[in-house]
Chain A
């Protein structure tokens, strides 16, 4: 029972680290800069698909083996080769992970950058949200239909996490958890520093009033593109860890509901507050577990309820309650941003609503 609890905790914390990365990314983009990324799933999925490609094409080469086509009739041997390399060539495994992270970050960052530059042509404010949402679905349909990426509908399995060669599942999952948590912690520190930097202040000014910021001679488009670049890099790293954690890459994991999960975390925790994003990620991770346990309990007492259904109903309710009663989130953004309004009007005594 003790071991079980430990394993649950490790799984929980690993997932928290991954969720935290996703939430930090969205908080940076929407919470700080006001760019409504309704296509978060696609940037996470770029990390996942990159992992699929490097672990099937690059890894054998790094280990000095012949590449076996990962789909179709050779699916079995390719899978076997992967697991064997992950078990006995730690060097190749780590190098491959490092390369995967770099490629995923580069691709995702560039996509984020260019999507944001193109999106400038959009007329209404919510069009960007729609383009990102629909763009994500388009990528997913493409990957699902085009075999070479992740073997279409089959997906790619047997992507072991980088410490699998230790031969001790407990130890390797603890090490993996530590790796994920430390990356998340570093990202958090980075985000905090970014928010406090002049660039962070520019982003907040832009969120409050793009026109005024532009009139102050700031390049609004470039600032938005830069923040999308940074956010997309973080999301892609989360995607790499996400599939390393589950060991399986399927396009079905990166649907609109994943994007919504991340939005729920950020709205719950507090838009514009990095600590809020972390809290939101933690609460949602725990809630996920609890609903799973509750569902099992209910099923045992003969109440038949699918876990995912309950979960999404719950998420919907959380979103509505938060937006209705506490739109600033559990941990609101700390200091009120200076906006042009405050600078232009004299400090009139504020009269409370009657």
Chain B
């Protein structure tokens, strides 16, 4: 494989992997603490992307403002979904499948409301207005300020999240709730408050990830939905429990999608239209062959489960 292709695809892998990690951490957190495989996470991401777009079009072009408001919007959408839908539903003690359907339904409503809004305000095919600067231009590689925004911001956010979970009182309570909700109740932990904070946190990371993803590709109402299955692949590869595993899983999925796909194309002539199938094949193989994910190899104090 020509070095230029290899390097470019590796840069893509790192960029996409960082974003997948950010989204997959939210999925893992909801999975462990709320015990919900939340497909509506996709639309929290999309909401963040649209907020970033609207803010950049009408309010401010400062990256800090754009990313900050996107984060906020993701958090608010997640919290209101929790308060309006997920919490009342979980009181009905529905089966896992029904809760899965509920998350699908919430996602569906949000997604098509965004469709209606972007149709009405003609937001299709618009880009987030952060001026593009080319920072590195070599014969084999072009790096823009977008890459230098996405990668450090998402990695910093992932580290912050890991520290929050591993080192703070709130993180400890979240892990305790994930480990044994009944005991958390008995010990008098404020379970509802911890749940709400978890939703806020996952929503915030989703909103931020959405804005960054929108910078990387472009903003449309299917943005989150198209990313969510690879993100689930990453979370499952990580065993749906450990933070370290999830992060590793995210980079692995991104690597397979970019570098491996590039290599397959180069050596076997496989067309790029198969690219989207790669994470799905990963999900199926991991669930069937190694459902505990990668966590057998990776252990850390920040883990939500052994």
Shortest C-beta distance, A116 to chain B (Å), equals 13
Max chain A Cβ within 10 angstroms of own Cβ: one of B108, B115, B271, B276: B108
Q: Is the CB of A316 within 8 A of B109?
A: yes
Binds A, one of B98-106, B169-177, B189-197: B98-106
Q: Does B274 contact A (CB under 8 A)?
A: yes
Min CB gap B298→A, angstroms: 18
B284 at the interface (CB under 8 A from A): yes
Q: State A299–B96 Cα separation when bound (angstroms).
A: 40
A residues in contact with B271, CB < 8 Å: 145
Which residues of chain A come closer than 8 Å to B292, judged between CB atoms? 123
Contact of A141 among B89, B274, B283 (CB under 8 A): B274
B275-296 interface (Cβ within 8 A of A): 276-277, 280-281, 283-284, 287-288, 291-292
The reply to whether the CB of B112 lies closer than 8 angstroms to some CB of chain A is: yes
B225 and chain A: residue at smallest CB distance = A256
Residues of B within 8 A of A309 (CB): 112, 115-116, 119
Chain B residues lying within 8 Å of A122, measured Cβ to Cβ, are: 287-288, 291
B96 contacts across to A, CB distance below 8 A = 125-126
Contact with A along B67-97 (1 / 0, CB 8 A): 0000000000000000001001100101011
8 Å CB contact of B102 from A36, A308, A323: A323
Interface assignment of B111: CB less than 8 Å from any CB of chain A = yes
Which residue from B98, B105, B274 sits with its C-beta under 8 Å from A327? Answer: B98
Residue in A30, A127, A152 whose beta carbon sits within 8 Å of that of B291 in the complex: A127
Q: Which chain A residue has the least Cβ–Cβ distance from B36?
A: A126
A306 near B108 with CB under 8 A, answer: no
* Contact (A319, B92) CB under 8 Å given A130-B283, A135-B284, A142-B274: no
B273 within 8 Å of A (CB atoms): yes
The CA-CA distance from A141 to B291 in the complex, in Å, is 24
B232 at the interface (CB under 8 A from A): yes
The number of residues on chain B lying at the interface, defined by a beta carbon within 8 Å of a beta carbon of chain A, is 41
Interface contact B108-A260, CB-CB below 8 Å: yes
Contact status A323-B89, CB under 8 Å? yes
| Smallest beta-carbon distance B111→chain A, Å | 7
Q: Does B65 contact A (CB under 8 A)?
A: no
Asked if B120 is an interface residue, CB under 8 A from chain A, the answer is yes
Assembled-state Cα–Cα distance A106/B134 (Å): 57
Interface: B37 (CB within 8 A) = yes
Question: Known contacts A315-B108, A316-B108; is A145 also within 8 Å of B280 by CB?
Answer: no
From residue 277 to 313 of chain A, which have CB atoms closer than 8 A to chain B? 304-306, 308-310, 312-313
Least CB distance from B124 to A in Å reads 12
Asked if B5 is an interface residue, CB under 8 A from chain A, the answer is no
Q: Please, which residues of chain B bring their CB within 8 A of the CB of A135?
A: 280, 284
A283 to chain B, nearest CB (A): 17
Contact B104 A320 (CB under 8 A): no
Is B153 close to A, CB under 8 A? no
- Which A residue sits closest to B114, measured CB to CB? A309
Report the separation of the CA atoms of residues A155 and B102 in the bound assembly, to the nearest whole angstrom: 33
Q: In angstroms, how far is the closest chain A Cβ from the Cβ of B277?
A: 4
Q: How far is the CB of B89 from chain A (nearest CB, A)?
A: 6
Q: Is the CB of A62 closer than 8 A to any CB of chain B?
A: no
B109 to chain A, nearest CB (A): 4
Q: Are B277 and A130 in contact (CB under 8 A)?
A: no
Could you tell me if B284 and A320 are in contact, using CB atoms closer than 8 angstroms?
no
Q: How far is the CB of B74 from the nearest CB of chain A, in Å?
A: 19
Contact across chains for B37 and A130 when beta carbons are under 8 A apart:
yes
CB of A121 to closest CB in B, whole Å: 5
Residues of B within 8 A of A337 (CB): none
Q: Which residues of the partner chain A approach B102 to less than 8 Å between Cβ atoms? A: 319-320, 323
A13 to chain B, nearest CB (A): 27
Kindly provide the distance from the CB of A125 to the nearest chain B CB, expressed in whole angstroms.
6
Residues of the A chain whose Cβ atoms lie less than 8 Å from the Cβ of B85: 320
Task: With A312-B111, A316-B109 as known contacts, state yes or no: A134 contacts B284, CB within 8 Å.
Answer: yes
Interface string of A102-128 (1 = CB under 8 A from B): 000000000000000010011111110
User: Contacts A130-B232, A313-B113, A320-B106; is A141 near B94 (CB within 8 Å)?
Assistant: no
Q: Is A324 an interface residue (CB 8 A)?
A: yes
Is A176 engaged at the interface, CB distance under 8 Å to the other chain? Answer: no
Interface residues of A in 14-46 (CB under 8 A from B): 30, 36, 38
B-contact 0/1 string along A259-273, CB 8 Å cutoff: 010010001000000
For the complex, what is the distance from the CA of A263 to the CA of B105, rounded to whole Å? 11
A138 to chain B, nearest CB (A): 4
Cα–Cα distance between A317 and B110 once the two chains are bound (Å): 11
What are 22 A-B interface contacts by the 8 Å CB criterion?
Answer: A121-B288, A122-B287, A123-B287, A123-B291, A125-B97, A126-B97, A129-B100, A130-B236, A130-B283, A131-B287, A131-B288, A137-B280, A142-B274, A263-B101, A267-B101, A304-B120, A309-B115, A309-B119, A310-B116, A319-B102, A319-B104, A323-B102
Which residues on A are within 8 Å of B, measured CB to CB? Answer: 30, 36, 38, 118, 121-127, 129-131, 134-135, 137-138, 141-142, 144-145, 152, 257, 260, 263, 267, 304-306, 308-310, 312-313, 315-317, 319-320, 323-324, 327
Contacts A129-B100, A130-B236, A319-B102 aside, 15 further interface pairs with beta carbons under 8 A come to A122-B287, A126-B37, A130-B287, A131-B287, A131-B288, A134-B283, A138-B277, A141-B274, A145-B274, A305-B119, A309-B116, A310-B112, A323-B89, A323-B92, A323-B94
